[in-house]
Amino acid sequence: MSLETAKRYDVAVIGAGMAGMAAALFAAERGLSCIQIGSGGGILFASGLLDLLAVHPTQEYRLWQSPFTALAALAREQSEHPLARVDAASVRTAFQTFVAALTSAGMPYAPLGERNSHVITSIGTVKTSFGVPLSMVAGVAALERRLPCLLVDFRGLREFSARQIVETLANEWPALRHQRIDFPGFEAVSEVYAAHLARALENRETCERTIALIKPLLGDARVVGLPALLGLSRSSEVHAAFELGLGVSVFEIPTMPTSVPGLRLLGALEAAVCARGVTRRQLCSVRALTFEDSTAMLALEGATGGERIKARAIVLATGRFSGRGLTADQTSVHESLLGLPVQQPASREGWHERDFLAPAGHAINRAGLRTDDAWRPLDASGRPAWKNLFAIGSILADQDWMREKCGSGLAIATAWAAVDVIARSGATRQSMQSEVMDRHASLAMTKVTR
């Protein structure tokens, strides 16, 4: 592989899930040239909510009102957890930067504070999360104050039942009621899908007809809840039209994956990283990755004729089993790309508890890569495998992001921390090079003067 023919970048991010997107975004924000390899299909399963940390410890299922208080407790009691290794100020800055980028790309979020919010789900449970899309915020206030509320769903939309939500929450929210209507233009269709309806609502006439069907049903409702389908690329516009037309606050409820908020989130993240100059290779995978001193060389497959990349730093954001960052056979768990050591139980018998719903979870959920303080994965001897390889997100060991409700927080915080290390090392190197150049220039001037 020739260095001369390889395209050069400061950072190559392998993976395009939440962690990979965050790393690419943060690298570009820091002025680093960046290429991102991989597909962001996993984001389609996202609800649009950005969890930071809601549950700790998992065996007690203790819910926290403040994610930052929870982070402080995590740092005291489980210091090896990846989130416990990122200081609170960096976590705040990372989330603010991430949310600002989404807002600028057309997916606005409510201002971030110090508290988690409680959001209704499509099955009537209540989810604790930190970052809430602006289109869902009115539901947080309605739930908290138990306001008179009308939930509306659409005949044929099998992934969402307003009646189920109302019946689940009836005891604690008596002022909640539901209605089902036909979606304009789909009356003769037996089954409809949220993404199709979301696109249809971006048509002005369809939007107005839907509002006209809901308005006579309002009664004493001060807020209306709908499945999350108020537009795709123009969701803010559609949401505003519903609030204006109905004369009350309107909120969306996350639906089952793959969801419209997931489609919006993926589109907003792709727009955000592209707007900041990130080069993306969505239909490619890494065929080979080698390290030579301070340089990493990548060979990509899937690109026409192949492509070679040279990067100063590699960020591994390949995820866990669903993203194929980790794979498992009958004996053990393996890291898929480089064969890095995976922290895991000594034998497969230790992967799971006898109780499937064990409160503390299963040991396999905490398997992953161990890293040093600079987020560099360790080899079998406990040393960094390569000085310019970094690992972030759910591939890291000592976390159970599903039970802890910290998936987005894990991705965003560790991406910020790793990119910060890369940016600082680059600044140091540039400073040293500048000093050498200044010294050479000074010597040259001295020779000329003499």
Residue 447 pLDDT exceeds 60: no
**157-168: per-residue pLDDT in tens?**
998 999 999 999
Q: Mean of the pLDDT values across residues 241-265?
A: 95
Can you give the pLDDT at residue 177? 97
Average pLDDT (414-421) is: 98
Looking at residue 427, what is its pLDDT?
A: 61
The reported pTM is: 0.92
Q: What's 7-103+264-430's CATH class?
A: alpha beta
What's the pLDDT at 376? 98
| Domain edges within the chain | 7-103+264-430, 122-253
- Is the model's pLDDT at 35 over the cut of 60? yes
Average pLDDT of 342-371?
Answer: 92
pLDDT reported for residue 305: 62
pLDDT of amino acid 40: 76
pLDDT greater than 90 at residue 148: yes
Q: What is the pLDDT of residues 55-65, one digit of tens each?
A: 999 999 999 99
State mean pLDDT over 121-135: 96
C-alpha to C-alpha distance for 43 and 263, rounded to whole angstroms: 8
Query: Across the chain, what does the average pLDDT equal?
Result: 92
User: Averaged over 343-371, what is the pLDDT?
Assistant: 92
Q: What is the pLDDT of residues 221-237, one digit of tens each?
A: 999 999 999 999 999 99
435 pLDDT band, cuts 50/70/90, is very low
99-109: average pLDDT: 97
Position 2 pLDDT exceeds 70: no
- pLDDT for 21 beyond 80: yes
Report whether the peptide linkage leading into residue 103 is cis, meaning its omega lies within 30 degrees of zero: no
3-class secondary structure for the chain?
CCCCCCEEEEEEEECCCHHHHHHHHHHHHCCCCEEEECCCHHHHHCCCCECCCCECCHHHCCECCCHHHHHHHHHHHCCCCHHHHCCHHHHHHHHHHHHHHHHHCCCCECCCCCCCEEEECCCCCEEEECECEHHHHHHHHHHHHCCCEEEEEECCECCCCHHHHHHHHCCCCCCEEEEEECCCCCCCCCCECHHHHHHHCCCHHHHHHHHHHHHHHCCCCCEEEEECCCCCCCHHHHHHHHHHHHCCEEEEECCCCCCHHHHHHHHHHHHHHHHCCCEEECCCEEEEEEEECCEEEEEEECCCCCEEEEEEEEEECCCCCCCCCEEECCCCEEECCCCCCCECCCCHHHCCCCCCCCCCCCHHHHCEECECCCCCEECCCCCECCCCEEECHHHECCCCHHHHCCHHHHHHHHHHHHHHHHHHHHHHHHHHHHHHHHHHHHHHHHHHHC
Going by pLDDT thresholds of 50, 70 and 90, the confidence category of residue 203 is very high
**Is 122-253 a domain of CATH 1.10.357.10?**
no
